[in-house]
Structure 1
Amino acid sequence: MLKRRLRNYDINDIKHPEDSEILDGLNKIPLFKGFLNNTIVPIREAYNEVESYGDGWNVTQQSSPQIYKKLQEACDILGIKKVPKLTSEWFYAPSSFSAGNEKFRIVISSGAIDLFEDEELIFFIGHELGHYICGHKPYQMLLEALYMPFIDNASVKVWSTIVKVPLLDWYRKSDFTADRVGLLCCQDIDVALRVMIKRAGLPKKYYNQINTKAFLQQAIDFETQHVGNLDKIAKALSLRSCEFPWMVQRAIRLYEWYHSGDYQRFINKNKQLI
């Protein structure tokens, strides 16, 4: 399948409304983003660099060319000229995270590399690149830094008190946007849904029987069938206690964007083929 390179696009056309609304509010807080870029961001960058080099496999053109090629392809599609650093760490659940701004690095589990096919891996990497190009990282790193034992800065504590509740809510919703960017990288909705199905828990021995329609129906049922007051309360509390949105919730949000035609309209604006 020929893919389109995305050039001269407006990142705001990609963002999920729930992500965009909260992010816009955070960006309007006077001096807040500048404060983060001068304090939390360099600390998290330095910590991530040390940890990645000390306890991970540094993926480069020389060390792991096949993996690195997927990173390059995702960056090329999104028009990212400075290819970020990439580390693989030993952990068999398919997971990833990223940190940094000027020294942006993606860390991906060895399980993700083993369990995902090539195009699925491009979606997965594209998701992390989405956080980067959408400006999520400074705020995400603030929340992550609150769990680091050596962060004991009075200014950080003041800012965290002010923005903790909206940040926790937004942290999860930012994944809705990042999933859109992942889809723009792989440019195949079935590929994106397969990643979510695998992360949701499908056993490896049944990977040749993946049923995306059944997973979408599960997502629709999740949205429509828990209508009682007790169910609403239980679901809200469960979602707010999660670090990330549930996979079925992410799947239906991404499919809604795809099915609305907004995805294809965005793609059609870009005529350059790979």
Structure 2
Amino acid sequence: MAAGDEHQRRILTQIAAVSWEHPADRAALNTLRKIPGFDLLLRKIFALFGERAIRLAFKANAVRTSERQYPWVHARLARVCEVLDVEKPPECYISQTHLVNAGAVGFGEPFIVLNSSMLEILSEDEVEAVLGHEVGHIISGHVLYRTMLILVLNLVVLRYSFAGLALLPIYMGLMEWYRKSELSSDRAGLLAVQNPEVAMSALMQLAGGGRGVSLDLDEFIAQSDEYRAGGDLLDAVYKVLNVLGQTHPFAVIRVAELRDWIESGAYDRILAGEYQHRDEKDDRPYREDLREAAKGYQDGARELFDEVDAAVDRLRDRLTGAFRGRTED
């Protein structure tokens, strides 16, 4: 482990991505992978026409990390890969961009891109959590599907309006999977750093961090609880509408989901060595993933309906109180 590390991290030898994946993410990926020849065909097409151009663009206009270029980022990525047991760390590039963001790009040999502004706002530990998140995307095989499906559908929606309307339900469904894949990789980021405060703090910084600004994680967690706890009827509707076009869940939701996963005991079980290994056959029935995914959506819908019901009750009480006040006058 690197000098100055506050705790020894458990090396998650041969950990399989299924150990941390969100059931809705996993079910959607399994559906795509079951299409005969689909995965192989996509890899060949995009490896031929897409990856080389993307990789050359970053080589030409970004800085690749190494022992001499951003050595601390290079070292942190190596440690993430050690913990998640990735034999060959992916290449990592720093791109001069003001938007605080990161991504995993490519098909045959995916690589990571960190925007330079992220390095200015996040601490080194928080950047490491982001690196773990991106490595999680790569291990789960998200990069191919995210790049292909979202870009192709965006192209269709933008260029061919009638086809776009017909594909809109599929597009929205893919957006929902895209968001769930982010929740999966948040878990991977946590497993990489094995420090819940660091993982959640990174999400807080991505939401609204600034240069030289000190943020309070407890306050942000309270904000997360407040967001999930309620609001009026209009707030409940806006919560659904606001997220429909988003590729990422809102940061407050990501923090809440990460806390839920920790409190479920799954995180501690993995650190205790109770996880699926890559050389083990995944005997988990596909239908079980679907059931878990459906349950997750049902629970979310139930929470939404409860919020709406409570909001209607509050509105009715206010109207009734106002009406009584007028009749008494």
User: What is aligned with 1:265?
Assistant: 269
2:174 aligned to 158, 167, 173, which one?
A: 167
Q: Look up the match of 1:43.
A: 49
The 1:67–1:202 alpha-carbon spacing in structure 2 relative to 1, beyond 3 Å, is closer
**Within-5 A mapping of 1:45-124:** 45-124=51-130
Is the 1:101–1:132 Cα contact (8 Å) retained in structure 2? no
**Match of residue 215 from structure 1:** 220
SS in 2 for 1:98: strand
1:90 and 1:110 in contact (8 A); partners too: yes
Instruction: Give me the whole-angstrom Cα distance separating, in 1, the residues matched to 2:143 and 2:9.
Output: 27
Q: Is the partner of 2:212 in helix, strand or coil? A: helix
Contact 1:74 1:125 survives alignment (8 Å): yes
Q: Is the 8 A contact 1:44 1:145 kept in 2?
A: no
The answer on 1:237 being equivalent to 2:241 is yes
Give, in angstroms, the shift of residue 31 of structure 1.
Answer: 2.6
Runs (5+) with no aligned partner, structure 1: 150-156
**Alpha-carbon separation, structure 1, partners of 2:52 and 2:150:** 14
Deviates more, 1:75-84 or 1:3-12: 3-12
Change beyond 3 A, Cα 1:22–1:227: farther
**Bigger CA drift: 41-50 or 16-25?**
41-50
Distance (whole Å) between structure 2 residues aligned to residue 252 and residue 41 of structure 1:
37
- Residue 147 (structure 1) shift: 7.9
SS in 1 for 2:108: coil
Q: How many residues align?
A: 261
Are 1:179 and 2:186 an aligned pair? yes
Counterpart check, 1:136 vs 2:170: no
Q: What secondary structure, in the 3-state scheme, does the structure 1 residue paired with 2:94 have? A: strand
Please tell me the residue identity of whatever aligns with 2:22.
H
Give how far 1:202 is off.
3.5
Q: Distance in 1 between matches of 2:62 and 2:154?
A: 19
3-state secondary structure, aligned to 1:204:
coil
- Which residue of structure 1 aligns with residue 13 of structure 2? 7
In the aligned structure 2, how far is the partner of 1:147 from the partner of 1:90? 28
Give the Å deviation of 1:100. Answer: 1.8
Residues in 2 aligned to 1:206 and 1:66: alpha-carbon distance in whole angstroms: 22
Distance 1:67 1:10, change over 3 A: closer
Deviations 1:30-62, CA, capped at 9 Å, x for gaps: 332222212135433223202201211111223
Q: Is the 8 A contact 1:124 1:195 kept in 2?
A: yes
2:273 counterpart letter in structure 1: K
Matching residue of 1:18 = 24
CA RMSD of aligned residues (A): 2.5
1:127: how far off?
0.5
- Whole-Å separation in 1 of the counterparts to 2:52 and 2:88: 19
TM-score by length of 2: 0.73
- Which residue type is aligned with residue 218 of structure 1? Q
Cα separation, partners in 2 of 1:26 and 1:112, compared to 1, 3 Å = same
Distance 1:101 1:183 in 2: 25
2:260 matched residue in structure 1? 256
Q: Which runs of 5 or more residues in structure 2 are unaligned?
A: 1-6, 156-162, 275-329
Query: Quick check: 1:31 aligned with 2:37?
Result: yes
Counterpart code for 2:218: K
Report the TM-score, using the length of structure 1 for normalisation.
0.86
Change (3 A) 1:143 1:89: same
- Aligned in 2, Cα 1:227/1:30: closer, same or farther, shift over 3 Å? farther
8 Å Cα contact 1:222-1:248 kept in structure 2: yes
| Percent of aligned positions that are identical | 25
Deviation, 1:27, is: 2.0
